[in-house]
Structures are given as C-alpha cells and as structure tokens.
C-alpha cells in the first residue's frame, strides 16, 4: 500500500506527488503525532480563514487517497488531526470505522427523509 510503505519508506518518497499534496505527504511522513488541519495549512503556507484552510487540507488528503496513500484523519477533540497509517492493520481499521460511520449516516438520512415525508403528508391532510 502506498501510504504505509512500512518495509520501504524510500519508495514512498521517490513516488511522492510533486505538487502541494506532495508537500503535505512529506510533512505527514515526518510526523510523530496527528497534525491538525490548521497547523498543516500553516506549514504549507495555505492562506485564508480557518474553514478555507481546513477545506484545502481535506482536498489535498482526497488527492493523496486517490493516489493510494493511507492518510488517516480524526477530527474529534484536541488530539485530532491527520497522519499516515503506520501499518496495513491500522489502515484497515481506520477504513472500517469510516465505513461504519457512513452506513450510520445513510440510515439517518433515510429516516429523516421518511419523517419529513410523513410530516408533509400529515400537514396536507390537516390543511388540504
């Protein structure tokens, strides 16, 4: 896996993208802790307000994901941030957690749509 490269870290360095996402990858490869999006944006000299900096980092991470790099994210709490998975196991566990969260959100969205439809139907009966 390109993001883990546990056995051959030099391979990931040689194959690093040459743009801003490559600079992000270099920062993450040298990190010993998750790095918050705002800190990453500042290290990469990305300008803008906090939300535009976070958005820029998310887009760069998406680009790294598309390139096969195992970038993990935890946006909860003060210890949150981005990091490279240190093993295939960590990457697999991260993906499983994300997929579980996505399934929950799909169910929640479906329930919201049903509730809105029922509410709308009830109002039509009441006022129709």
From CA 85, how far away is CA 82, in angstroms rounded?
10
Q: How many domains, in total, are found in the chain?
A: 2
According to DSSP, the residues that pair with 81 across neighbouring strands are 74
Q: Are residues 60 and 3 in the same domain?
A: yes
Q: Are residues 7 and 60 in the same domain?
A: yes
In 1-128, beta strands by DSSP E: 71-74, 81-84
Structural domain of 127: 87-128
pLDDT at residue 18 greater than cutoff 70? no
- Measured at the CA of 87, the angle between CA 24 and CA 34, to 5 degrees, comes to 40
Over range 77-95, report the average pLDDT. Answer: 87
Question: pLDDT tens for residues 20-50?
Answer: 999 999 999 999 999 999 999 999 999 999 9
From CA 54, how far away is CA 73, in angstroms rounded?
12
Q: Are residues 100 and 114 in the same domain?
A: yes
Q: Are residues 112 and 59 in the same domain?
A: no
- Give 5 or 126, the one with higher predicted confidence: 126
Nearest to 56 by CA among 78, 87, 79, 23: 23
Nearest to 9 by CA among 56, 70, 51, 89: 70
Q: Are residues 35 and 81 in the same domain?
A: yes
Q: Are residues 41 and 76 in the same domain?
A: yes
């Amino acid at each position: 896996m390109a993001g883990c490269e546990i056995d051959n870290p030099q391979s990931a360095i040689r194959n690093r993208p040459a743009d801003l996402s490559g600079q992000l990858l270099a920062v993450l490869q040298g990190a010993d802790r998750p790095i918050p999006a705002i800190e990453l944006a500042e290290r990469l000299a990305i300008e803008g307000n906090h939300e535009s900096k976070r958005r820029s980092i998310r887009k760069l991470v998406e680009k790294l994901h598309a390139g096969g790099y195992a970038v993990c994210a935890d946006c909860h709490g003060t210890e949150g941030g981005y990091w490279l998975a240190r093993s295939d196991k960590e990457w697999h566990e991260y993906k499983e957690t994300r997929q579980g969260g996505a399934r929950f959100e799909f169910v929640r969205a479906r329930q919201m749509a049903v509730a809105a439809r029922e509410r709308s139907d009830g109002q039509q009966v009441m006022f129709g």
